[in-house]
Structure 1
Amino acid sequence: MTALPERFVQRIKQMIGEQEAAAFLASYTGSAAHGLRLNPAKVPLDEFIVKMPFSLTPVSWCPLGFYYHEKDRPGKHPYHAAGLYYIQEPSAMAVVEALKPEPGDIVLDLCAAPGGKSTHISSYLGNSGLLVANEIHPTRVKVLSENLERWGARNILVVNETPERMAERFRGFFDKIVVDAPCSGEGMFRKLPEACDDWSEEKIGHCAFMQADILESASIMLKPGGVMVYSTCTFSEEENEWQIERFLLSHPEFSLEPVAQGECFFERGKLANTYRLWPHKLSGEGHFLARLRKSASTGERSEKPGAGKVKPIPAATRKLFEAFCRETLTFIPEGQYALFGEQLYLLADGLPSLKGLKIARAGWHMGTVKKDRFEPSHALALALKPGEWKRNVNFSTDSDEVYRYLKGESLFVQKTGKGWDVVTVDGYPLGWGKLVQGQLKNHYPKGLRWV
């Protein structure tokens, strides 16, 4: 059993009573639930269920989510490297289901790393609308970018800013916002026992203060009539119901809305239309969520940051890129291109001015433009769909070659010609290789290679 802080145990007993606290504490003698969420842009649900070599059981509140057995290791399977699924704690899947993003929405994930909510939002947007994923910590924003890249997300803007700085630039801009707030992490004690050592009542107070500031910034960025979901992975009322009560008192233009899935699977919080996921009442860890609607009659106007001017890419750059596309792909991606140093991006539609923002990704990364050549990016390969490439080398999941490729080894293949090939596993893109006289030179990113 996880050794829980004594003061935490006392607080739980005060919150839910001795009898229910006994059942709650007993849940810590069991194992944490393990979950993954499929990527519908890469694999249909029926195909996914047939092909996955894991013991899968549906997650009741998420149509894309499944439990897997702890003996399975989906993170070490080539399908994970291909972005066919995202490994995510099952309770955390409830947040985006409560938000209900729709194609065409402009959505902000304000505290986005490592990317669970962002990839989930992307699944519902498809290649329409815009997802802005923000993360304040520079090291975590790199992981966020890599996860969105593997997911194959094209219409994205990944930003490394404070919520206050974001609010200055994006007033009334978003249709929907997720605030998965930094918290004291009590809900993760069973999954991450080391989180117990970092817990204290002082941390609860610090987190509550920070959450209030983040909510304030988020409220500024939401359009009149828009929806915001606030969530934490903690149990403390200070960070949950009390946080929402304080926010509503100072923001009468907001109101709480019911969550349909919550009626069936979640327990109501102590504040009406707030929801709690308890580890002793469902197969998942601790979570809290609230769906808030901003009145359409606030008197505010939706605003769009100035689009700004994007410098046209040089004719020589376009020529190199289009030559690559004609040789390797079945299409030339359409839209507005931008060159950041040597990096070529296809900008997402509806992208605001990027001036003055710390940007990690500004759309779909096409690749690197050298003096006399174009080198495709990993993001370009991972976002391709069957039929969009002319050249590929395919390996099966039970072959030695696919694992050697993921380790960064060059391979000899039975194929003639030369040039860039999409490397696939059972037809799903994994990355690039460059064929030279029967040798496939490995271009799987060094930082992602398996050891």
Structure 2
Amino acid sequence: MKERKISEEFLNRMKNLLGEEEYEAYLRSFDEERLYGLRVNTLKITPEKFTEMTTLKLEPVPWILNGFYYEGEERPAKDPYYYAGLYYLQEPSAMTPASLLSVVPGDKVLDLCAAPGGKSTELGAKLKGKGLLVSNDISNSRAKALLKNLELWGIENICVTSEEPKKLKETFGEFFDKILVDAPCSGEGMFRKDADMVKSYEEHGPEYYAGIQREIMDQAVDMLAPGGLLLYSTCTFSACENEDIISRTLDCHEEMELIKLPLFEGASSGIGLPGCLRLFPHKIRGEGHFMALLKKKDCTAGDGIFGKTGSKQPPLPDELSDFLSMVSKPMERSRIRIKNDAVYYLPELFPENTSGLRYLRTGLLLGEMKKGRFDPGQAFAMTLKPEEFRQAISWEKQDERVIRYLKGETIFLKEGEEPIKGWCLVCVEGFPLGFAKGGGSTLKNKYYPGWRWQ
């Protein structure tokens, strides 16, 4: 076993949990290399098409349709396709919770503990631009990373908040059709992947997190609409953070019932609570995880807020209307809002009577009104296709101008390329990277500085 100062208390508990033979197999898993994974953004590309395009050496994750293993020496975060939002780097087992929550376009979805966005990006891709995704993280700094990942993926029907679950419950009530609770936990399942998790575990063990998890689940249940589904997950092994939390939720909330999750090769059923799902690193090619799916019985009338955008708004400024005339993507003008010169496109199901929340983003940031002009934003560019913008240019990934653009440099057009004047959507092999402003033979770079290639 690799050198990690793991407490005897934890090891003894794992031996009791697994039995002697399985326990030895679990210990041997520490001698194996950690695994690396990426998940393809199905909002932009099919897994089949992506595997044809990429030069990465990929192997499918058997239980995730759009998940792949990649080699540890690869550098997928230094690839233009990553900057185009075509995939998210994620440990294979961590892909499982969002894959098991059956989100469909039009749902109202809450990811309650969402940062840095691995699960929210998958939930947003499943919505396909319809409905609403509220992604929340109590940490404001972590929520900023969450927002970047959602915008990089081109997900427009988002609201990103940084609130305690109790505040969200007081605001929304029984509003959401689907809720994912990837609860803060002691992280026992990540010991092989991240030795620092062992240090954190010594400071706060399972009992500490169990109290937090119970409170979060109570708030989540109260925000779930009748007939809705709630997926609870952790990356730990302790029963007091897993099956005990689910049993306690069922005992305290008679309106909730456990829905059996399907087993797949290498997965294990819950310990003492059949229907839950456990992943162990000695049984699958991934780290440790726990999942349980609950449903709220359709027996009560929901009391959630049901606001809908579409109220009459003042005419749009001419400079904004002029820019939007270049966009052929269908957009409802009644959902456009301007606040402090920032221009937003609200989700179709956005409840507008939630202004008391601490929002990092309400909908898609289209851009900003400046003196006599409108400057489109990076997030807007990531939601477009080349054919949806009047003026677009696309380069092959090997073209040195792709990296230069991502670094924020001015770009010079080559002989034979049409002169470009005004706003232009810059793409790599047909996938948007951002905006530029043409001056004929040059493109003034408008790539967002905070996202630049380092």
The answer for the alignment partner of 1:301 in structure 2 is 301
SS at 1:430's partner residue?
strand
The answer for the alignment partner of 1:39 in structure 2 is 41
Contact 2:90 2:118 in 1 (8 A): yes
1:85 offset after TM fit, Å? 0.9
Task: Call closer, same or farther: CA 1:446–1:203 in 2, change over 3 Å.
Answer: same
Contact 1:311 1:338 in 2 (8 A): no
Equivalent position to 1:190, from 181, 185, 192:
192
The answer for the alignment partner of 1:425 in structure 2 is 428
Task: Call closer, same or farther: CA 1:21–1:308 in 2, change over 3 Å.
Answer: same
The answer for the alignment partner of 2:327 in structure 1 is 329
- For 2:329 and 2:255, the matched residues in 1 are separated by 47
Task: Call closer, same or farther: CA 1:2–1:93 in 2, change over 3 Å.
Answer: farther
Contact 2:279 2:287 in 1 (8 A): yes
The answer for the alignment partner of 1:351 in structure 2 is 350
Contact 1:61 1:265 in 2 (8 A): no
SS at 1:74's partner residue?
coil
- For 2:128 and 2:310, the matched residues in 1 are separated by 25
Task: Please tell me the residue identity of whatever aligns with 2:267.
Answer: F
Task: Please tell me the residue identity of whatever aligns with 1:235.
Answer: F
The TM-score, its normalising length taken from structure 2, stands at 0.94
The TM-score, its normalising length taken from structure 1, stands at 0.95
The answer for the alignment partner of 2:405 in structure 1 is 405
Equivalent position to 1:96, from 92, 98, 122:
98
Task: Call closer, same or farther: CA 1:309–1:253 in 2, change over 3 Å.
Answer: closer
The 10-residue stretch of structure 1 (278-287 or 153-162) with the greater mean CA deviation from structure 2: 153-162
Residue 437 (structure 2) pairs with residue 438 (structure 1): no
* Runs of 5+ unmatched residues, structure 2: none
SS at 1:149's partner residue?
helix
The answer for the alignment partner of 2:149 in structure 1 is 147
The answer for the alignment partner of 1:342 in structure 2 is 341
- For 2:203 and 2:438, the matched residues in 1 are separated by 59
Question: Number of residues paired by the alignment?
Answer: 446
1:153 offset after TM fit, Å? 0.5
The answer for the alignment partner of 2:369 in structure 1 is 369
The 10-residue stretch of structure 1 (92-101 or 390-399) with the greater mean CA deviation from structure 2: 390-399
Percent identity over the alignment is: 41
Let me know the Cα RMSD of the aligned residues.
1.7
Contact 1:109 1:134 in 2 (8 A): yes
The 10-residue stretch of structure 1 (169-178 or 317-326) with the greater mean CA deviation from structure 2: 317-326
Give deviations 1:271-290, integer Å, cap 9, x for gaps.
Answer: 11111100110011110000
Task: Please tell me the residue identity of whatever aligns with 1:329.
Answer: V
Contact 1:2 1:190 in 2 (8 A): no
Task: Please tell me the residue identity of whatever aligns with 1:338.
Answer: R
- For 2:309 and 2:55, the matched residues in 1 are separated by 49
- For 2:371 and 2:312, the matched residues in 1 are separated by 18
Task: Please tell me the residue identity of whatever aligns with 2:364.
Answer: W
Task: Please tell me the residue identity of whatever aligns with 1:446.
Answer: P
Task: Please tell me the residue identity of whatever aligns with 2:331.
Answer: P
Q: How does 1:104-119 map to 2 (within 5 A)?
A: 104-119=106-121
Task: Call closer, same or farther: CA 1:359–1:42 in 2, change over 3 Å.
Answer: same
The answer for the alignment partner of 1:268 in structure 2 is 269
Task: Call closer, same or farther: CA 1:333–1:200 in 2, change over 3 Å.
Answer: same
Residue 452 (structure 2) pairs with residue 449 (structure 1): yes
SS at 1:14's partner residue?
helix
Task: Please tell me the residue identity of whatever aligns with 1:12.
Answer: M
- For 1:154 and 1:175, the matched residues in 2 are separated by 19
Contact 2:43 2:126 in 1 (8 A): no
Contact 1:27 1:279 in 2 (8 A): yes
* Runs of 5+ unmatched residues, structure 1: none
The answer for the alignment partner of 2:379 in structure 1 is 379
Task: Call closer, same or farther: CA 1:306–1:99 in 2, change over 3 Å.
Answer: closer
- For 1:36 and 1:2, the matched residues in 2 are separated by 27
Task: Call closer, same or farther: CA 1:257–1:148 in 2, change over 3 Å.
Answer: same
1:57 offset after TM fit, Å? 1.4
1:312 offset after TM fit, Å? 6.2
1:9 offset after TM fit, Å? 1.9
- For 1:355 and 1:145, the matched residues in 2 are separated by 18
Equivalent position to 2:18, from 16, 19, 23:
16
The answer for the alignment partner of 1:6 in structure 2 is 7
SS at 1:57's partner residue?
strand
The 10-residue stretch of structure 1 (264-273 or 279-288) with the greater mean CA deviation from structure 2: 264-273
Contact 1:42 1:385 in 2 (8 A): no
Q: How does 1:144-293 map to 2 (within 5 A)?
A: 144-200=146-202, 202-260=204-262, 262-270=263-271, 271-293=273-295
- For 2:166 and 2:406, the matched residues in 1 are separated by 40
Task: Please tell me the residue identity of whatever aligns with 2:269.
Answer: R
1:366 offset after TM fit, Å? 0.6
SS at 1:75's partner residue?
coil
